[in-house]
Structure 1
């Protein structure tokens, strides 16, 4: 079973696409040091088994640095497991989404069933920066 995961490094200026043939998304995220907070929140939201399940899934995965920039109010709201699960589910899209498919105003349906609007911006060094629902 092949998993394709698109990591959008939200507070940095790069995109990482990882393809693994035997590991699930949780295993792939654990391979990178930048996703410790995301893994912790996935576990607290009780989504680990879901993401270990039959895919494919595309995960828009903020790095730890992006979580540092969240306001205290957001962290307080994460104490409610239902809110945390909804927020984490907004980062998951069923199916394969490749970075080459991402353009301005592309709408994707999240695992939560809500639309995610993608926008692409050029940064000062010529790379791309992506936003999901303006974040």
Structure 2
């Protein structure tokens, strides 16, 4: 009799928990789609490392200092260690001293936080050159 009561109680607990459970995919889908709508196509191309697209967008008038999701294009290039794109952005007038509107980080700080040593070196050298001028 005890076994029957304990088994029934356990089955009831499992049934209650499974009825109240929500699928994890719905949470993931919602948060992912919200994220992508906040980042413009220019910065997505930078994050992916698509140099040709970034170059074409700049030629068509994309602002190299326009924020997307609080970050500048140089911050995305630094975060993802896209050195070729970072050099292009700098040559087109990217301001490396701007701070992220969300966390007040600079492109150099994003490079440091994400272990993007090559991007950090480029930023450091560029800022030294500009300081000397």
Q: What TM-score comes out, normalization by structure 1 length?
A: 0.23
Of Structure 1 and Structure 2, the greater strand share is in 1
Q: Which has the higher contact order (CA 8 A, sep 6+)?
A: 1
In our comparison, the structure showing a higher alpha carbon Rg is: 2
TM-score (norm 2): 0.24
